[in-house]
A and B are shown apart, each in its own frame.
Chain A
Amino acid sequence: MNRLGEKLLIAFSWISGITLVSVVFFIVGHLIFKGIRAINLKLIFGETRPLDALLLRKQVFHGLFPAMMGTFLLVVLSVGLAAPVGLASGIYLAEYAQGKVRKIVNFFFDILATIPSIVIGLTGFSVAVFLHQHYSKQIYPCLLISSLSLSFLVLPYIIRSTQVSLESLPLNTRLTALALGGTRVQNILYVLVPQSLSGILSGLILAIGRCAEDTAVIMLTGVVATAGLPRSVLAPYEALPFYIYYISSEYSSPEELLTGYGASIILLIICMTLFLFAFIVKRRIIWQTFYHL
């Protein structure tokens, strides 16, 4: 590669970087510019007093509070379900599976990672209908079905990040504990996993973001435009992303469209906060790990 090629490569990378950053700023800027007027307590709580709503004393009408709570519950349930399964599978894949088994397991997780979310939603819906017809009339598409479906959607993120970060550890890190007489499990739990925490957590971050933003799965598995707070995990619920989708196609007045912009900004803030929270946790855990060693 000559000097011109080198310069072109660097120029191209700068152009790409600047393009991407300006596109993102343009999108977020448009949202904030148009929707900032809508951001106030009334958007979230409607006519209800915020304290009453937060303590679940009164229902919120014409506000985003139920949708926000719905999204929060979804994220907690789905990532809570997916994280242990994903971590265990990732560890198995990186540390135990060998030869043919490893190839087959890898193959299926690649498929799981590539199955479109709406197909997972469709399956969740079909399972709900199947259970309704054959098992209990009380089962409808609901919060639980959505969470289960979503946890499958994000499982590959967690598995892969765990696996990749474990596998990319250098050989001497891998062998030190074993050479000192540690068992395989001790090696995994006290050396390999702590050493790969940042990678594992970056997978969890992706998973959290995916759960909060996904619309395709939940639109088939129980989200509705108006439901209030879900009374149980077996009840339908509202969620922010679905509300935004609903407004973009069904808005009847400029005021309603404005609430769509408001909801978008709130969803964006929630996702960014989740992200920053995960980032802080990650930094802290890395710090602790560093000072334990």
Chain B
Amino acid sequence: MINIPEKAAEKLFLLPTVISIAITIGIFGFMLLLGLPLIIRGGHFLNLLAQSWAPGSGLYGIYPMIVGSLSIASLSLVFAFPLSLGCSVLISVVGHEVFGRFLRGVVQLMTGIPTVIYGFVGVFLLVPRIREIFQRGSGMCILSASLMLAVLISPTMILFFTDSFDHVPKSYGQAAEALGASKGQKFLYVTLPCAWRGVLTGLILAGGRALGDTLIALMLAGNAIQIPGSVLDSARTLTSHIALVFAADYESLEFKSIFACGMSLYLLATLLVLGARGLWHRNEGEK
């Protein structure tokens, strides 16, 4: 008698899970279906990734956008990761009574600051400064976009880092303290190894957000279709390309190229997930 509602409950929790997975797969299927004409014409999906963009001569390759996306996202992670690790150490490890709590509050509030506001302020505050400092171009470049993006993705990382530091059982830390470990040692040898999973999850989400963010790159990176030579060059990301070509006529091959961008972004996301999961399982094996 008890068994029936138990089984029903399990099914009730399973159903939404299955639906969510089906749609996750469905998203890729849909883009594959709609991008097919361009892939058939280009011969191969990989060709499309390596080709340059020259609609005049019938080339709709998305290589410049891939380079743009990767450079902006990785540069923003370079800025944001140390900053976030530092902040989460200050919140969880140093644990300053007043500033630590204040910082946690600010970071939590930051998750509520809209992306478009970072973009808006970036256009009118950061871009002119970058233009003045480097005396080159319009100031809309990879550097401007990465700097703003770093601010955007920091809270994601900090909240995940601190959350996972705080979830390490208190007795572990107390054991280390009893052995005479300082706060720094406790963090480095006890908290960090135990909280690896959360740190990685934070990095995945932050990297994914940097790669997947549209507005900041769209508003601050200049959107020129070219392979950037330096961080002061303008670049177009895969995401901005989808947003910019959108207005075009949707039977054209130029429009179909946004599905190639969509698929690439999807595959990049999958790769990121695979890499992080591989790391996590190896980490688990060592324990």
Task: Give the interface of A toward B (CB within 8 A).
Answer: 1, 5-6, 9-10, 12-17, 19-21, 23-24, 26-28, 30-31, 34, 84-86, 88-89, 91-93, 95-97, 105-120, 122-123, 125-127, 129, 152, 155, 159-160, 164, 168, 170, 183-185, 199, 202, 205-206, 209, 212-216, 219-220, 241-242, 244-245, 248-249, 260, 264, 267-268, 271-272, 274-275
Contact = CB atoms under 8 A, between A and B. Distances in A.
Given A123-B30, A185-B6, A17 B87 contact: yes
Interface in B177-228: 182-185, 187-188, 198, 201, 204-205, 208, 211-215, 219
Given A111-B269, A119-B265, A183-B6, A30 B121 contact: yes
Contact of B17 (A92, A111, A216): A92
Closest 10 CB pairs of A and B: A16-B86, A116-B212, A213-B114, A114-B208, A114-B269, A92-B13, A216-B214, A6-B184, A13-B90, A13-B89
Interface of B: 2, 5-6, 9-10, 12-17, 19-21, 23-27, 30-31, 34, 82-87, 89-91, 93-94, 99, 102-103, 106-121, 123-125, 151, 154, 159, 163, 167, 169, 182-185, 187-188, 198, 201, 204-205, 208, 211-215, 219, 238-239, 242-243, 246, 250, 258-259, 262, 265-266, 269-270, 272-273, 276-277
A248 B20 CA distance: 36
A213 B31 contact: no
Contacts of A88: 12-13, 15-17
8 contacts: A92-B17, A105-B21, A122-B259, A126-B30, A205-B112, A209-B112, A248-B123, A264-B121
Contact of A20 (B103, B120, B266): B103
Contacts of A28: 113
A116 B211 contact: yes
A79 to B, nearest CB: 14
Given A108-B24, A248-B120, A272-B112, A118 B239 contact: yes
A215 B116 contact: yes
Given A89-B17, A113-B208, A122-B31, A12 B219 contact: no
Nearest to A110: B273
A74 to B, nearest CB: 13
Contacts of A108: 20-21, 24-25
A16 B90 contact: yes
Given A118-B212, A268-B117, A1 B273 contact: no
